[in-house]
Structure 1
Amino acid sequence: MQQKASSLEAEIAERKRAEEEQYRLAAIVESSYDAIVSKTLDGMIISWNSAAERMFGYTAQEAIGQHITLIIPPELHHEEEEIIQKLRQGIRTQHYETVRRRKDGTNVDVSLSISPIKDSAGNITGAAKIARDITERLEIERRKDEFISMASHELKTPVTSIKGFTQLLRRRFQQRDDQESAHFLARMDMQLNKLTQLIRDLLDVSKMQAGQLAYREEPFELDVLVQETIENVQGTTQTHRLILEKLESVRVFGDRDRLGQVLINLLTNAIKYSPQADKVLVQVVAEGAQAVVRVQDFGVGIAEAYQAKIFERFYQISDPEMKAYSGLGIGLYIASEIIKRHEGRIRVESRKGTGSTFSFGLSLLEDTSAMV
């Protein structure tokens, strides 16, 4: 009898702890700044916190029992189908930026994180959605992009004029055999070249954000472009040998100039981030249906924690060792966006202290008759 009483007391205590934990979680959900909504796999809303009321304008009474498309614009209903498909496979969605619709018909920019809800047997029964209002952040980014675009355009004309006068003065000093002055102007011209390239990069970033970066696609030999780019970059460095390890004839369809821009970025980065080395290795090979370009350096390398972020706009590695290398964090972003436009992807393999290998693949072009 005493054993049964003890067992009953333990069961009551366990039930009480479970209820307290449930109340605590409910309080956290209710007080959250982010909208938290749960739904069934059929899309029916089963919970709706106070932040969801503030964000979307519907009370919990109005929303619960309705389909989640209540807050999804009609043109984005396909997103819900894709999300449900992932949820059934147990796949989470993290920081997915999209648009949702308020009760008053206005749209709100949100970042969604969606996780599957499982029952005690481990079966997926629904989903928990966390929605964060990112309207203010996107507006700040838009203003920043507008400023960068305006500043870059305003800087372009005076820098071009300064560069023209610098080159004119340099030629005059050379004609007068004033080598010291000509040398200083040559160094000044080099810095102006860097500034000009920075302005071009900023303009490219601005155009990419606005979807206005022009591409002129055509069939061309990628191996020839790589050879030409290596020759041009080699002429700018006396510290490194750019070695073409493998070179196979590969033909692709794309914007030759933009892909040349990617190659220049990868080669100059390889030189910049390997100050103690004296060579950079390059490969151009055909692998399956892909033309693959690899650029390998033997420099400082990139820790694994940073590798997924280095292609983000304005991202700079926080490692103290990398602070010695100047830059705005836009070169790899531009390169990555250009390769994405060509339906490819830039990859990096690296270990800190041993160097990095950057590579990208483009579809091989076999039949050009349809392209010309």
Structure 2
Amino acid sequence: MSNINPTKRPLLASHQTPLQILETLPGAFFLVDDAATIVYANASTQAILGATREDVLGKPLWRGAPQLVSTALYRAVQKTRQTRAPSEVEYVSPVTGTWLHVQLSPTVGGLMVQVHQGRTVAQREAPVPQGERLSIEDLDGLYSRISVLTPEGIVLEINEVPLAEARVRREEVIGKPLAETSWWSDTPAAQEQVHAAIARASRGETVRFEAVIHPREGLDRHLEVAITPHRDADHHIAYLIFAGIDITERKRAEAELHVLIDAIPQQVWIMRPDGSYDSFNQRAHDYTGLSTEESQGEGWMQCLHPEDRSRVRSAWQCAVQTGGVYETEVRLRQNTTGEYRWFLARGMPMRDDTGQIIKWFGTSTDIEEQKRAEQQLKESRESLRVLTETVPQLVWVARSDGLLEYSNQHWQDYTRFTFEHMQNDRWAHFQFIHPADQEGTRACWQHALDMGTMYEHEERLRNGQNGEYRWFLTRGMPMRDDTGQIIKWFGTSTDIEEQKRTEEALRQSQEHASILMNSNIIGINIIEGEQIVEANDTFLRMTGYTREDLRAGNMNWLHMTAPDDLARTLEAHQEHATQLSITPYEKEYVCKDGSRLPVLVGGVLFQHHPHQAIGFVLDNSARKELEQRKDDFINMASHELRNPLTALKMQTQLVRKRLEKQSQHEAATALARMEGPIKQLERLIAELLDVSKIQAGRLEYVRERVDLDELLREVTATIHHLHPSHTILVRGSVHTSLIGDRDRLGQVFTNLLSNAIKYSPDAQTVEMDLSASDEVVTIRVRDHGLGIPRELRDKIFERFYRVTDPKRKAIPGLGMGLYIVAEIIKHHGGTITADSAVGEGSAFMVTLPLMRDA
């Protein structure tokens, strides 16, 4: 009794007689204080506990009497304390396996506990329902480590699994703190874990953690632990349920898996079933720089790009809630550089045999290069889209089966069809192809689809706005994948309407050229350098050469040109090189037999072949012969008419003078009127003679010094005397002389002033402006008469040319004056030009060089 608490001993000493009674009670009898410490145990205690009362006094009930400890007893003690009413409980001892019947009564400062072995009759007849008790037999049926603990962590019940692993008896554990059992106490870190977990659970928190324990020497176990608090009716913590699942094999497999995971080039992460962080592989740790602690909760999201966090959080929560596959693209920050790279994150739930998710296994694959490629592809596609919208062609894209997939705006604007109109029928576009072209288009397109070859076809497409058809060249190119399979058709339709018109014009031109080459009238040759390389039959017939001569290179235009025409011919070819064409000119070809052929020649330089030119040759012999006959006739007629006219003129003057002497004035006056027509006829005959001499190159010139001012005064006075109806206004003077033929120069200005008066019948003045420089003198004669059409200004200097105008038919003349004037001025080294418009008069400007030797 030496171990009895001194504070309790006086109480027991004062009740010796009751204690004697208690000694005689059947079964074990205990008195415990409010701290559940044994203050008294009767003699029968040893029979049940196997220990003397001295061994148990002063010890807590749960440690001093482990054979009695159970959850049922613990709950009964707690209930009696709270209600202060007697209670009883029956249960199987976790240690001895015997049935125990315990009665409890409250006392002052504690409880009386009386224990009987065996079951009461009442209890045997009405056993406690299985659902209302937790038997150690039940716990032993579980492979997991199950314990029932007091809120302080005292073991009330425990199943066989941990006892067998630690090779200890149940009584060595029951009633002791769980943390002091050998498998926890041998590992300080684990002991600290379970201490902290029990403390949290005793405050009503369900605690889960993993720990490594050492049940015995050489044996380690990795446990996944859950400590769950259980409350009584008053919501006080009644006891704690400790459940530990052996996950040693799983951890070993996970360790092996982690080794494998660390070898994977992707970042690998593992999450718990609730979506919380579990672990990363080394590659993920190295990249993000996050520790295990920093990754807890949503800490792992701090390495995400701020713009991606909300999206990733939503996607991850959705996957956790639905148990579906998680997949998203995310930018992750690189720990050392701070740069973000794109990753494809995929997570797959791992389930047990019951379908419950036990882990989330995921990878983060670097797709930065892929994203860049996608961006480049996107930019390329955008560039392609912009290109297709800016090119003038109609652009379209079709699927491998030919069904339209895309068309640019030009295509839609032209056809007035949208993509929706075409997407279900690959032949729908036939409605805007010309009916005559549809069969060919269908056959060509079907052949391309069947053979996988390029599609090319010309067809007429209807403009959706005005209904007109235009020619298009449509091309389609198959686009293939790596296996060679066609995945798309990319095509364009190019407007070739102008090209088709050009081709038609070219065809017609070729027909015309063929007709021209086969002409019996026009000789055609093609020259390259000095050599004639091609010619039609007409040119060969003209010159007497054969096609064998042509092939042998025996036709050289330089050698075939008459010496007298060589200078003009070279000048024409120089003009050919600079102006790409030759103004038609006359020359003579030396034929193969040595004869000469007068021809009219023109030519054009080939633009595509600058070293070649085409020449057109007309046989001019008939015209030359006709002109020669005309010139001969005019020359002969002029001489033949001149002598009778001279005689007529002299006789008329003689008769007039005789009549005047005889005072027959009336007859003399009538005869005098004949002198005007005779003078006009004399002038015409003189011009005809001059023309004949010019043609023959025999017009005579006198070389003398000419005072131009004096000459022009004389000519002006004479013209004014002959035509008093007009005033000749002379402005300026030249004050110089030149070398030339005075009479011929007088003839020039007489003709110009006469014409000015003749062709301005309704005007009253004719103007003549004089000016001089150090090099030339300029004489400008201007009238205010009928004027000359601009397109005919150069023709008026041709021989016998007169402008065809009803108003001019009444004005006499043969069209020789200006021809003679131009030849005289040319002989004197000068020039003459005309500036005129119909109804606005004409202006002739003559320039002559000073002091020129003619």
Letter of the aligned partner of 1:280 in structure 2?
V
Aligned to 2:523: 35
Cα pair distance change 1:205/1:77, threshold 3 Å: closer
The reply to whether residue 96 of structure 1 matches residue 594 of structure 2 is no
Quote the Cα distance in structure 1 between the aligned partners of 2:563 and 2:656.
Answer: 63
Show CA shifts across 1:289-345 (max 9, x none): 111112111111111122111111111111222212121111111111111111112
User: Where do residues 1-372 of structure 1 align in structure 2 (5 Å cutoff)?
Assistant: 2=445, 4-7=454-457, 22=510, 25-40=513-528, 42-64=529-551, 66=553, 67-69=556-558, 71-73=560-562, 81-119=570-608, 124-365=610-851
Structure 1 counterpart of 2:769, which letter?
A: Q
Q: Give the number of aligned pairs.
A: 363
Query: What is the aligned-residue RMSD (CA, Å)?
Result: 2.6
Could you list the per-position Cα deviations for residues 30-60 of structure 1 after superposition, in whole angstroms to 9, with x for gaps in the alignment? 23511100122x2332321010121011122
Q: Partner letter of residue 7 of structure 1?
A: H
* Residue pair 1:46, 1:65 contacting (<8 A) in 2 also: no
How far apart in 2 are the matches of 1:258 and 1:320? 32
SS in 1 for 2:711: helix
For residue 713 of structure 2, what is the amino acid of its counterpart? Answer: Q
More helix by share: 1
Percent identity reads 36
Q: Whole-Å Cα distance in 2 between the matches of residues 207 and 345 of structure 1?
A: 21
Contact 2:734 2:777 in 1 (8 A): no
After superposition, the Cα gap between the structure-2 partners of 1:82 and 1:168, relative to the gap in structure 1 and judged at 3 Å, is closer
Letter in 2 for 1:61: E
Give, as a single letter, the amino acid of the residue that structure 1 aligns with 2:560: I
Unpaired segments ≥5 residues, structure 1: none
Q: Quick check: 2:532–2:557 contact (8 Å CA) kept in 1?
A: yes
Distance in 1, matches of 2:516 and 2:643, equals: 56
Q: Cα–Cα, structure 1 residues 91 and 227, in superposed 2: closer, same or farther, change >3 Å? A: farther
Q: How far is the alpha carbon of 1:157 from its aligned partner?
A: 1.4
C-alpha offsets along residues 166-205 of structure 1, whole Å, 9 cap, x if unaligned?
1122223333433322221121111111111111111111
**Is the partner of 1:332 in helix, strand or coil?**
helix
Q: C-alpha offsets along residues 247-304 of structure 1, whole Å, 9 cap, x if unaligned?
A: 2212111100110111111111111111111111112220351111121111111111
Structure 2 counterpart of 1:162, one-letter code? L
The amino acid across from 1:38 in the alignment is I
1:142: Cα distance to partner?
Answer: 0.8
Partner of 2:277: none
- TM-score (norm: length of structure 1): 0.89
Distance 2:728 2:573 in 1: 50
One-letter amino acid matched to 2:672: A
Which amino acid is 1:221 matched to? Answer: D
SS of match in other structure, 1:69: coil
Instruction: Give the letter for the 1:324 counterpart.
Output: A
Question: SS where residue 45 of structure 1 aligns?
Answer: strand
Q: Give 1:136 deviation, angstroms.
A: 1.1
2:786–2:839 CA contact under 8 A, matched in 1: yes
- Distance in 2 of aligned mates of 1:288 and 1:68: 44
2:716 is matched by which residue type in structure 1? Answer: I
Cα distance change, pair 202–175 in 1 and its aligned pair in 2 (3 A) = same
Q: Secondary structure at the match of 1:235?
A: helix
Paired residues of 1:48 and 1:64 also in contact (CA < 8 A): no
Assess, with a 3 A threshold, how the Cα gap between structure 1 residues 245 and 157 changes in structure 2: closer, same or farther: same
Moved more, 315-324 or 22-31: 22-31
- Partner Cα separation in structure 1 for residue 515 and residue 551 of structure 2: 18
Q: Is the 8 A contact 1:274 1:300 kept in 2?
A: yes
**Are the structure 2 counterparts of residues 199 and 20 from structure 1 closer, same or farther at C-alpha, using a change threshold of 3 Å?**
closer
- Over residues 141-160 of structure 1, what are the superposed CA-to-partner deviations in whole Å (9 max), with x where a residue is unaligned? 11111111111111111111
Q: CA 1:51–1:248 in 2, change beyond 3 Å: closer, same or farther?
A: same
Specify the SS of the correspondent of 1:25.
helix
**Structure 2, unaligned stretches of length 5 or more?**
1-443, 449-453, 460-472, 475-498
User: 1:31 aligns to what SS in structure 2?
Assistant: coil
Distance 1:240-1:22 versus aligned 2 partners, 3 A rule: closer
Distance across 2 between alignment mates of 1:75 and 1:326: 37
Structure 2 distance, partners of 1:58, 1:114, is: 20
More displaced 10-residue stretch of structure 1: 67-76 or 148-157 = 67-76
> Equivalents in 2 of 1:92, 1:107: separation in Å?
25
